[in-house]
A and B are shown apart, each in its own frame.
Chain A
């Protein structure tokens, strides 16, 4: 084995800065896509639970389509395909922005929101029917019953699986390197091609991903201990 480990190469100077820039961009794209996916996912879940048939079908097709096609294909679709179906002025606006970042964010948002919608829907379904009945019987209307009784319980149940969806999003965000978003994996790859020290570069990247995931997992465990016990019927 002729490989000479050189850790200081990736832990100091320019290459460290590349990796840190990549890490910040990973957090940024995951954060933005995560927030948007939560909003979109909630909307899709509520559409599915509404009694309006077209909304139900739209929500169902959305979920099934985006859950059941590869994320990488979807990323390429938004990146190469958006020109074909978005209005010209939107495209021109996007090109003036950071187009790679925008396409990557959209792909991650849409893909994750399909999973989030399913988690939310099953959370709402897991609340006993008699909770809705009991709240409606006191005179609360449908929206109030959801707002004050059903959703607070559903979110408590759904938060752990929801967080693991957000962790998937963090990990999936590495795929947007394929369209040139300079996030952590992209930067690790760059360091590798400049220095031929891929082992060190990807070890640092791995540890950074792991640090975020483990921190979030730890928070979920604490959350479970403190809040979930209340929900006994």
Chain B
């Protein structure tokens, strides 16, 4: 954890949110630093979106306290929080033009028409939609709607911007482009971004820190490298990057000390004459920049990823599996 000593942008203390018997969020402690790009990563139903809605004020905690820049958020309605949201479905007002959508926050505050539309056009230029103000949301593509939602949420200069799977509906190329743009935007504005996603690649590539959620709890928080290289639990090892989880009974067979271990597929090397355990290539997937193997070592299966240019093995071939001494990470419990 690299939490600065200053007042955090968002602080959760033992926060829970129950819906009847369902514990959507169950005792979460969290500090998000000012100016941080923070990702909440987890499968659907893990509580990450509920946490976002707790920050926005759409949900109230069943237990625990939430502070936003040191102020208690309890009972403060969404419209009095200096926090704005980019919704998963964008939630653009269909009866308003793009410019009116972006200017909405200023309109409800009573800013004059000329001033707020000028400001809206400024925001639209920021998200590269300068000439789209007069259109209706229905006339825009998915990527353009996403930018409008971003401009609309940023016009009030929120202290925290919440993004609920904002790239989920976009195609791959657009998503990668938006990842870069969002990161650049966040750097230049210096606003705290809290980003919810189930895509580990997205979380790792954009965030300063990642919190991995499972079953209503945070199982690990850390820089992307920490979470990826040193997963704390079986869940993190498997969910983030699909690591090899080696159970204690398999550890001895693979010449590892007692305990449960995680080894990243790309840390493993294959060779015809090595020192590691001997296995057999079971399957091979060619993926362009890399090859993905499944190697059977006795009763155990290991996933291995090798870079293009290294020696290729065909299914059925006998190979030695090796890894650097620091590659295996011990898993808790």
Chain B binds chain A: no
A residues with CB within 8 A of B: none
B residues with CB within 8 A of A: none
